[in-house]
Each structure stands twice: as structure tokens, then as C-alpha cells.
Amino acid sequence: MDDKSANTARLIALDWGTSSLRAWLLADNGEAIDTRTARRGIMQVADDAFAAAYREIIGDWIAVHGDLPVLACGMIGSRGGWAEAAYVDCPAELCALAGRLLKVEADPVPLYIVPGVMQQAGEGALPDVMRGEETQVLGALAVAPELAERGLLVLPGTHCKWVHIADHRLAAFSTYMTGELFAVLRKHSILGKPIGRNESAIDTEAFDFGVDSARAAGTAGLAAALFSTRSRMLAGELAAEATPDYLSGLLIGDELRSALAGLERVPPLRLIGDDALCGRYRRALARFDIDDAAEIPDAARSGLWRIAEAAGLLLTRHQNS
């Protein structure tokens, strides 16, 4: 064992998801010495060549800093990833995550993978699963400990998660396929037909119109509201180039309607994710009278650090077995 001084590398942390891989070389207290992003999400790694992608992303860090523990969260631990890590049952003690790491023998050093969380079906509740978000939740609670007794974390993305925290546990969660629905409808459905390139600034008027339309549709829900993206355009209420932001507002608005409907009182709510997307959610939340939804940055990195600490990965130089 070395006597670690500040800025000595202690951990390599990987957020290895479906469409991207982020890697951090972390020093004491979890500070980042170096950061990398690669298009090496599990969908982008040809022929499941995870071992090669792994060497590629961490090889030179190990060469320079010696053997370090490596901890990953996300879809790399799914059935379609490198190796399937277990699920921890929900309600989940967050400390249970550290006790259930999966060790994958690899070159130049083993990889540890954080388990996912599974919610079983029960009295009206649908079964649900997460991989990666549990780590972000743990990281977020380090930054916002006031949510540990009772809080709501919203993680916008391809599959947006709404995670309820109660008594320091991950109590319940729901997945909304909002991001993926937007992508497939825009690219492959008639709702995307009139849409040119419009990747620039958000058309806030169209977005708000979509949010309000979803809210007004109420319990009739998304199935009844989606086609209004087209019919409002044909009725002259919406310009063709405004339809993507209307559709975005409609989908996010319906998600908020659905997720907030069952709550007598909305717990303190925080957002975790991409800035631009969190901005859309903050804007939509304000139309549901929720004005204090701050963003929590660096949640995955913080969570991986906490789990590595709790699992004892930081105590010893790792022996490559």
C-alpha cells in the first residue's frame, strides 16, 4: 500500500451506458484528475468486444498510475452488456449496492460492476428496472442529503426515471420512455414528416403549448394527445417547424401529468442529467407550479466514488488475479 497524497490516482470510475462511455481518473475525495468520453456505449461496441474497448479506455491510465481499482455502473452490467450483474430489490438500501458488486476478470485489471435495482410488480405497481441511475441517486444524495428522508429525483433521458427516496432508501421508481418516444416518433413517424433540421434553440412558445396541451388532455393521456402534433399544424395552429418542440412539450408534459398525479404532496425534487434536457424539464415543471427543481451535477461520478469507498475498493492496490 502506498501513502496516498492529494492528486494521487485512487480509482477509475466508468459510467458505461447504452450510447456512451464516460471515464474518470479520480484522486482523493473523488476529485477528477482526468476525464474521457468515448462513443463506446454497449450498442456501439461491435461483436461485444468489451474487453478491447475496456483496454482502450483505461489502458494508458493503468500504465502511468499502476494498478487501480475500476468500478463501472450502467448498461454494461445488463444482459446485453459485458456481464450481467444482479439486481438489488426495491425498496433498496443504497449501501446494499456496494455489497453486491460483480467482478469481471479483465486485462489489465479486473472490472467491478454495480448491480441494478429491480422493482417487483405489486398492487397496481408495474415491475421496473434501472441500471446506472441507482449510482447517480447515491451520488446525488451526497450532494443533497436533505432529500434522504423524503425526496424525488428525476433523471431525464432516453428512459427517464422518477425515483422516490424515503428513509435513506430507494423506495420506488417509474420509467418513462419519453426520450426514446421523441426520437422514434420524430425520425420514423408521420409526426416527423414536416420537420426540417431544427437542432438549435428551443421554440419556447411551441414547447409550452405542448406541455399545456398534455396537461389539458388530462387522464385521456398521451394516446389521445399525440396526433394533435399533426392536426394542430393542419388546423393552422402550429407552424411545421415548431412541431418538434410542441411534440417535446407534449411528451414531457404528459410524463409530468402522469408522475405527479398520484402525489398528494410533491417531495423536494431535483433533476439529474444533461443541462439542455434538464432545462426543458425545469420549464415544464414550472407550468405544473414546481419552481424549485435544481440540477445536481456529477451524480454518476460521486456515486461511483461512494460505492467504491463503501465496498473497500480504495483500501488496497488491486491484485490482478
21 in contact with its own copies (CB under 8 A) = no
Judged by DSSP in three states, 292 sits in coil
196 in contact with its own copies (CB under 8 A) = no
Q: Is the Cβ–Cβ distance between 79 and 72 less than 8 Å?
A: no
Q: 66 or 221, CB closer to its own copies?
A: 221
Choices 117-125, 133-141, 143-151, 195-203; region in contact with its own copies by CB under 8 A:
117-125
Contacts of 153 (CB under 8 A, 6+ apart): 136, 137, 140, 147, 161, 162, 163, 165, 269, 270, 271, 272, 296
Choices 8-16, 54-62, 225-233, 298-306; region in contact with its own copies by CB under 8 A:
225-233
Q: Which of 107, 221, 263, 294 binds its own copies (CB under 8 A)?
A: 221
228 in contact with its own copies (CB under 8 A) = yes
CA 74 – CA 16 distance, rounded (Å): 5
CA 1 – CA 317 distance, rounded (Å): 6
Integer CA distances (angstroms), 261 to 120, 256, 265, in order: 21, 8, 10
CA 73 – CA 110 distance, rounded (Å): 14
Residue 48: what residue type?
A: D
Which residues inside 242-261 make contact with its own copies, applying CB under 8 A? 251, 254-255, 257-259, 261
Q: 39 or 187, CB closer to its own copies?
A: 187
Q: 79 or 265, CB closer to its own copies?
A: 79
Query: How many residues sit in the footprint of its own copies (CB under 8 A)?
Result: 55
Residue whose C-alpha is closest to residue 54's, from 109, 8, 98 = 109
Q: Which of 5, 29, 200, 219 binds its own copies (CB under 8 A)?
A: 219
Phi first, then psi: what are they for 286, rounded to 5°? -60, -30
- Smallest distance from the beta carbon of 31 to its own copies, in angstroms? 35
Which residues inside 120-149 make contact with its own copies, applying CB under 8 A? 120-121, 124, 126-129
Residue 180: what residue type?
A: E
With the CA atoms of 226, 231, 232 and 234 taken in that order, what torsion angle do they form, in degrees rounded to the nearest 10?
A: 150
Q: Which of 225, 296, 304, 308 binds its own copies (CB under 8 A)?
A: 225
Q: Which of 145, 227, 239, 312 binds its own copies (CB under 8 A)?
A: 227
What does the binding site for its own copies look like in residue numbers (CB under 8 A)?
A: 79-80, 118-121, 124, 126-129, 159, 174-178, 180-181, 184-185, 187-191, 193, 213, 216-228, 230-232, 234-235, 237, 251, 254-255, 257-259, 261-262
